Amino acid sequence: MGYFQGALKDLSKVIQDRAIEEGESKADDLRYPNYALEGTPLELMYGESLPRLREIRAAVDPENVMGLTGGWKL
């Protein structure tokens, strides 16, 4: 991880911790995927929908062609 990515990840944690302290967020709140940092667990972005999304991916893209591109891997 580069310097700026590390700094952004650290800053994001500070902001999230402060939001939790002030009652504005919870540790297990879902993250908006477009703003999620690299390495964010898929469960924190898609929650209970993740198993269904994986089922859809398997049905629509059984050879995982879309997995060859960048982005989040379901």
Q: Where are the domains of the chain?
A: 3-68
In 3D space, the residue among 11, 18, 74 whose CA is nearest the CA of residue 43 turns out to be 74
pLDDT at 35: 85
Amino acid identity of 38? E
Q: Are 35 and 11 in contact (CB under 8 A)?
A: no
Q: Tell me: the pLDDT tens digits for 26-60?
A: 988 888 888 888 888 999 999 999 999 999 999 99
pTM metric for this prediction: 0.71
Neighbour count for residue 66 (Cβ, 10 Å): 12
Q: What is the mean pLDDT of the chain?
A: 90
Secondary structure class of 67 (helix, strand, coil): helix
Instruction: Kindly indicate the confidence band of residue 17, based on its pLDDT and cuts at 50, 70 and 90.
Output: very high
